[in-house]
Chains A and B, each alone.
Chain A
Amino acid sequence: MSCLKALNKFNVYIMTQTEALYHYTLRLGDNSLISGHRLSEWCSRGPILEEDLALTNMALDHIGRAQAFLKYAGELSEKKQTEDDLAYKRGERQFLNNLITELPNQDFAFTIARQLIISCFEFYLYTELCNSNDPIVAGISEKAVKEVKYHLAHATDWTCRLGDGTELSHQKMQKALNDIWMFTGELFEMDETDQVLLKAGIAADMTLIKPLWYNHLKQVTTEAGLKLPEDAYMQSGSRKGIHTEYLGHILSEMQYLQRAYPTAQW
């Protein structure tokens, strides 16, 4: 509950740097965890066996990164929690992942569109975070950049294949981009957490990342013969722990054993 209490303090107290860093690493960890969860659902469902392995490889990168960030968040938390405590024992309202990460896989086009947008975002985010004044954030980011660069190359190539493949694949890819677009605004939202950490040179400035991200996506989609949707109304909420209905189902699955046998060690 420490997360919600702290969030409620926003208007009253000034957040400490440790609190801010706790939220920030939780956000990064949750994004990786939920993305990894969705990618792992592709296991035994890939369009060709090779792609099955590629998608699960990426799932592993995400879960590994989630483990690193949540471990750090746990050390920063008041209650000194483990990464598993944070992944398995928090409720829906305490998760800080962006809504886009929890969107169901649907078909391969939707997954590729989602991964393109996320990996492009993460590429610039982690490149920036390599320069973070916090050595642990910088360390995890250095490893992440290499992984994400590959994720981005993979998603870029598939975006081109689907965008410029058959009429059907083109339609599916365009529809996926259109459907996902309203979840992209949230990626760049900054709150008190970001402000506190920006001052300390720990967090990334999202206003700098957004144009890089947008231009990169513009290039890829143009190459693929796809249209980047116009900015319209954007969904929001994850910074306050307000999610889509999908997250509850992810958690009820993910946390089932830990919740059903609270005294057991796994």
Chain B
Amino acid sequence: MSTEHIQNAFQQRLDKGDFIEPKDDMPDGYRTHLIRQISQHAHSEVIGMQPEGNWITRAPSLRAKQILLAKIQDEGGHGLYLYSAAETLGITRSEMIQQLHSGKAKYSNIFNYPALTWADIGAIGWLVDGAAIVNQVSLQRTSFGPYSRAMVRICKEESFHQRQGYEIMAHMMNGTADQKEMAQDAMNRWWWPALMMFGPHDSDSPHSGDAFKWKIKRESNDELRQRFIDKTVQQAEVIGLTIPDPKLKWNEAKNHYDHGEINWNEFHEVIRGNGPCNKQRMEHHIKVHEAGAWVREAAEAYKKKRLNKESLVTI
């Protein structure tokens, strides 16, 4: 079949609502796009373990410690589901990790911001996971089967993440003056980076065209961002937090909130590596990866020795 033929047949399947499975014919562009997107998504989950991991040993109650541990563990699990989904497209996890370390593969900008106080754990759960869930719910219907299945599982597991974050914020807003101040401060620092998680405005989004055509992406950056803002404002009001945007205002005609402009300069600088924690996050990941090499090699060596032992017995 000619390339054009394959492309047409492929598009027809997508338009019919078919899911694409790993062994199916697919245009190279589709495969490349998915590998980039899924591996970036996987790296984000894994790098995202760091800012929250920063607070496990300092969690202020045994309950909070267990919840946080379980949540971060979920992030690791989600990274793993996503690496597996990407692996079905013919890239290995080793290669993906290598691309992360070389800077070829990115991860979500949000994790280049520091988790400074306990309230940040609340803000990350509520705002960062909240924003991620809006995106992930939409991705459950993405056209690539393994990615969609991973998303279904992830969404099911993540439903408690946002609640635990919001619970921390609500609890602190009910607490001492210090706690309220901490909560509002975390809100102020995480609100804008959370909005940036949805990516550039639709008019400036470089990959969106193909992603829509291929039904990898079903809703646009701005649509998803708007949905997040609309539902979060009310949640903030209920617990007495102020959204740090003087231009935020309900627009009756649009039935949506209007909001101030995002600092896109900061967004691009953080992507370029100039966020507060870019170097720290990557150094941590590389250090751990290298420190674990001898363990993985030992496991491989042991496997080979045991195989030999077994074969000796059967002979």
Contacts and interface: CB of A to CB of B under 8 A. Distances in A.
A256 B292 CA distance: 30
A264 B118 CA distance: 12
Interface stretch (A60-68, A128-136, A176-184, A233-241): A60-68
Nearest to B83: A49
Contacts of B69: 40, 43, 56, 59-60, 63
Interface footprint category on A? 35 or more
A114 to B, nearest CB: 15
A161 B297 CA distance: 10
Interface residues of B, number: 43
Indicate the member of B60, B64, B175, B298 with the most A CB atoms within 10 Å: B298
Indicate the member of B49, B60, B61, B179 with the most A CB atoms within 10 Å: B60
A14 interface: no
Interface string A157-193: 0001110111011001000000000000000000000
Given A47-B291, A57-B73, A166-B294, A266 B178 contact: no
B64 A83 contact: no
A53 interface: yes
A48 interface: yes
A88 interface: yes
Interface in B152-183: 171, 175-176, 178-179
A253 B298 CA distance: 33
Interface in A54-84: 56-57, 59-60, 63-64, 66-67, 70, 83-84
B76 A52 contact: yes
B286 interface: no
Contact of A40 (B49, B56, B296): B56
Contacts of A63: 62, 65-66, 69
Contacts of B292: 46-48, 51, 108
B175 A265 contact: yes
Contacts of B64: 266
A139 B292 CA distance: 38
Nearest to A59: B69
B227 interface: no
A67 B67 CA distance: 13
B72 A43 contact: yes
Contacts of B61: 84, 88, 266
A266 B298 contact: no
Contact of A44 (B50, B77, B80): B50
B305 A266 contact: no
B66 to A, nearest CB: 5
B1 interface: no
B284 A44 contact: yes
Nearest to A172: B294
Contacts of A53: 73, 76-77, 80
B312 interface: no
Contacts of A46: 288, 292
Nearest to A43: B53
Contacts of A48: 292, 295-296
A50 B83 CA distance: 12
A257 B53 contact: no
Contacts of A83: 62
A256 B117 CA distance: 11
B71 to A, nearest CB: 10
B275 interface: no
Contact of A160 (B56, B284, B302): B302
27 contacts: A41-B56, A43-B56, A43-B69, A45-B291, A47-B291, A47-B292, A49-B46, A53-B80, A56-B69, A56-B72, A57-B73, A63-B66, A64-B66, A83-B62, A84-B61, A161-B302, A164-B302, A165-B302, A166-B297, A168-B298, A169-B294, A169-B301, A257-B58, A257-B60, A258-B60, A264-B175, A266-B61
Given A49-B76, A169-B294, A266-B118, 19 more contacts: A41-B57, A44-B46, A44-B288, A47-B293, A47-B295, A49-B80, A60-B69, A64-B66, A66-B62, A67-B62, A84-B61, A108-B292, A161-B302, A165-B299, A165-B301, A256-B58, A257-B60, A263-B176, A265-B175
